Structure 1
């Protein structure tokens, strides 16, 4: 008797990391069914999923993870749930945080409640963020570090993160939580720093640096992020948190210089703008725990930036319509001069 297809429910998959993950998943597995649920908010883009829409083993539902009836329907007989759905912009959360609480906590609750009814559930991946730790001036965060989020976005993500853990502790659900570094690569929403700077330069616009550009970020290519999540479906231990990083720490100004060099621009293309309120100075993750179970990153920042710049240069038809609809404050500096 032929074994039934493994069924995946992937939420938020019209977004950056989710759409890249579906590409990765179909390269790894053939006999699967992929169900996508996405609200198609500002950062969701159906163009990122167009190559899958005619597949018999793929279905897309336009809807909200907070919709209990819809989620119950899509959750039937699911084996693996991966929750990418989130409100995910720090600047936006500082201006208005309610939608972040609704989606990043309330939506996670709805997914968990529906998932715990499924007898065939093998894994529930809650995609969290390194920002739940807050900032660190030296050393690196481990999974047991104190959790001190410093803005409404990271606080809401922590709520979903810990709620997911509680469903492991209380109901023995096969939950795994990932906390990844800043992720970049193809199909990233162009308000994010790397695609924003690349597309600004393509358009002959300056790139806005918050403050003095001394903040430090740990950069992870989206392909490595996807491979880590996929690795944890089979190899992660239920109830555990795993940091995901590639040991690629750079100041924002150093990152900017690398993008400028790749695009043959000099420092005159930089404009310094007002800093974000409560801007975290440094993120750094220790991901020894993930490496111990057999995962390793493949990209350094230079290789990743080269491929990313090339992708945006070759795919203006993807990003131009998106950027035209984007909050235009990002282009010149969200918080002004």
Structure 2
């Protein structure tokens, strides 16, 4: 749009956003939800070796605001951490922090997306002087605290059941 119409804009690519007010159709919130309802066995799609760079919503917001303020030529930037976390490690952290002792059941036959999804945020660092401030474990703990303090177990069970039957 900038090139064709002169629209001042920036294009932000978000990488695996999570955080407070998230929904159960996103990986981190789904992990937390399964611990919240004490799912046992605790189901994990894939083999757990998939690598993600989960980016807390606070970092996404700050990066988006900076992009709107500093970029006007349509440049695309990646807003994501470069912190690499395996899905199985995230699962273990959720279980440990919530105190949920469950057998982990891997389902490698289920869809997982790419094996490795990690942002290169060098351009965002250069153009915006932006870098993520919330590391994954701290953001995960904040998100768990929010989830456990605001959700109803029966409603979450219903949501999880609906999500599983949609696929």
TM-score of the aligned structures, taking structure 1 as reference length: 0.45
- Is 2:5 the counterpart of 1:171? yes
Show the 5 A alignment for 1:24-35.
Answer: none
- Say which of 87, 100, 121 aligns to 1:252: 87
Q: Highest Rg: 1 or 2?
A: 1
CA shift for structure 1 position 330: 3.0
Tell me the C-alpha RMSD between the 2 structures.
Answer: 2.3
Counterparts of 2:2 and 2:120, CA distance in 1: 24
The structure showing larger relative contact order (alpha-carbon pairs under 8 Å, at least 6 residues apart) is 2
In the alignment, is residue 305 of structure 1 matched against residue 115 of structure 2?
A: no
CA offsets 1:118-154 (integer angstroms, 9 cap, x no match): xxxxxxxxxxxxxxxxxxxxxxxxxxxxxxxxxxxxx
Corresponding residue of 1:203: 37
Alignment match of 1:184 (pick from 8, 18, 23):
18
Question: Do the aligned residues in 2 keep the contact of 1:188 with 1:195 (CA within 8 Å)?
Answer: yes
How many angstroms apart in 2 are the aligned matches of 1:321 and 1:267? 21
What is the CA-CA distance between 1:322 and the residue it aligns to? 6.8
Q: Report if aligned partners of 2:38, 2:100 keep a CA contact under 8 Å in 1.
A: no
Quote the offset at 1:240 in angstroms.
0.2
The corresponding residue for 2:123 is: 289
- 1:311-330 → structure 2 map (5 Å cutoff): 311-317=146-152, 321=155, 324-325=158-159, 328-330=162-164
Alpha-carbon separation, structure 2, partners of 1:320 and 1:242: 40
Whether the aligned pair in 1 keeps the contact of 2:81 and 2:118 (CA below 8 Å) is no
- CA deviation profile, 1:168-211 (whole Å, cap 9, x unmatched): 11111112111121011111111222111212212121332122
**Match of residue 74 from structure 2:** 239
Unaligned stretches of 5+ in structure 2? Answer: none
Cα 1:249–1:267 shift into 2, 3 Å? farther
**How far off its partner does 1:237 sit?**
3.6
Q: Work out whether residues 14 and 79 of structure 2, in 8 Å CA contact, stay in contact via their aligned partners in 1.
A: yes
Shift in Å, 1:248: 1.8
Count of aligned pairs:
164
SS in 1 for 2:73: coil
Determine the C-alpha separation between the residues in 1 that align with 2:102 and 2:156: 27
Change (3 A) 1:306 1:326: closer
Unaligned 5+ runs, structure 1: 1-166
* Residue correspondence of structure 1 range 76-87 to structure 2 within 5 A: none
Offset of 1:323 from its aligned partner? Answer: 6.2
TM-score, with length taken from structure 2: 0.87
